[in-house]
Amino acid sequence: MITWPAVVLFGGIGIVVPAAFYFIFRRRGGLTKIPAWVWTVTGLIAFLFFPAFLFRKHYEAALVFAKNTFWFVAGIVQMDNNIWEELAKVLAILVFLALARKTGPEVFRRKSGATIWGFWTGLCYGIGEAITLSIIGYLPKLGRVFGVSLFLYFTTWHSVWERAYAIQLHAIMGALIGLGFYHWFGLKKRWWLLFFFFVATLYHELVDGLVLVMKYYPGLEFSRFARTHILTVILPLLLIIGYLAVLVAYKNSRRHTSEVALENTIQT
């Protein structure tokens, strides 16, 4: 049954949001040389990487059944989930670099371009998550294939609102990873990609860790507050934290004066 929330999810979040992002940012950050088909293909690949990596839920579910405690699930199972999802964003960016061999590296030599493309990658991955989960909720038998249980999951206005936040959370993680690629290509500091990957993973842990707190400790005052204000306070606060993290990382992603001076000395 097609409902208005489903139409908004598939049409608004699935089509309008990425299209609007493309038309706003396609001429910024040195991205003018990236053709529309590369944007589209890499966006679709990031989208498809969510269902492609979702099969891990089979063994993650087995781990939860083996030891269903907060610290084990948060520290092992959830971190495994986070690592796979951030790895998917890294691989999507690597696909972009493979498709745009001449212009791709130039994008990541510019801080703005790297941040925008990382954001785009995370955004499309988050849209892939939103659409995939909605389809599995509509066709619950698919849950057996992917190892996901979405019993009584319906695409409602509440879920559309929650997904509107979630795609931004993934986009923030992608932007952090994009800055890691900027350190690789622009600042020649390859190991910093691992650092930003780690930061994105920890941010992911913060987001989903709060959900686990509500699940395992429902009697806490925080849990009761979070359940009531998840869409109006908790998720907006997490977005603010994420955007501030990107801003701080962006401002501090630059060469030190001593490095610039040394480079100028070598050139002269």
Model confidence pLDDT, tens digit, residues 142-169: 888 888 876 556 678 899 999 999 999 9
Domain ranges in the chain are 4-267
Name the DSSP letter for residue 154: -
Is residue 256 scored above 70 in pLDDT? Answer: no
Q: Say what the pTM is.
A: 0.93
Alpha helices in 77-156 (DSSP H): 78-99, 104-107, 111-138, 142-146
Tokens 């507050």, located at residue: 225
How far is Cα 81 from Cα 47, in angstroms, rounded to an integer?
17
- C-alpha closest to that of 87 among 58, 49, 47, 59: 49
Q: How far apart are CA 129 and CA 146, in angstroms?
A: 13
Please name the residues in contact with 183: beta carbons below 8 A apart, sequence gap of 6 or more: 189, 190, 192, 193, 195, 196, 253
Per-residue confidence at 265, pLDDT binned at 50, 70, 90? very low
